[in-house]
Amino acid sequence: MAIGSGDINDGEVIFAFHRVGESVRVTAVHPATLTEVTIVGSVHTLQARLEQVALNKLRYVMAKRYGGDSPAGSQRR
């Protein structure tokens, strides 16, 4: 993967979870580009769902930052 390409399909993403009361703060980091995003969700939400939401946000931010196409599934209905 080229650094700064905005493509995370071939890259690694690190997730960190921090519980705060009834909420959980999820941080997703793409180490190759040092791009980081954070979301907050309910502690009752499945970890896989929280990871997917954070990953979608990371893809969106990287596409905006590096001029890529808007990620699939990001259109509002």
pLDDT (0 to 100) of residue 50: 99
Q: How confident is the model at residue 67 (pLDDT cuts 50, 70, 90)?
A: confident
Q: What pLDDT, on the 0 to 100 scale, is given for residue 66?
A: 87
Q: Is 31 helix (H, G, I), strand (E, B) or coil?
A: coil
Q: Phi-psi bin for 76: left (phi > 0), alpha (psi -120 to 50), beta?
A: beta
Please name the residue that has the structure tokens 């009752």. Answer: 44
Assess whether pLDDT exceeds 90 at residue 16: yes
For the chain, how many residues are written? 77
- Angle among Cα 57, 19, 73 to the nearest 5 degrees reads 20
User: Given this model, what pLDDT does residue 70 score?
Assistant: 53
Q: pTM of this prediction? A: 0.76
Task: Give yes or no for residue 4 having a pLDDT over 90.
Answer: no
pLDDT in tens, 23-33: 999 999 999 99
Are the beta carbons of 54 and 39 closer than 8 angstroms? yes
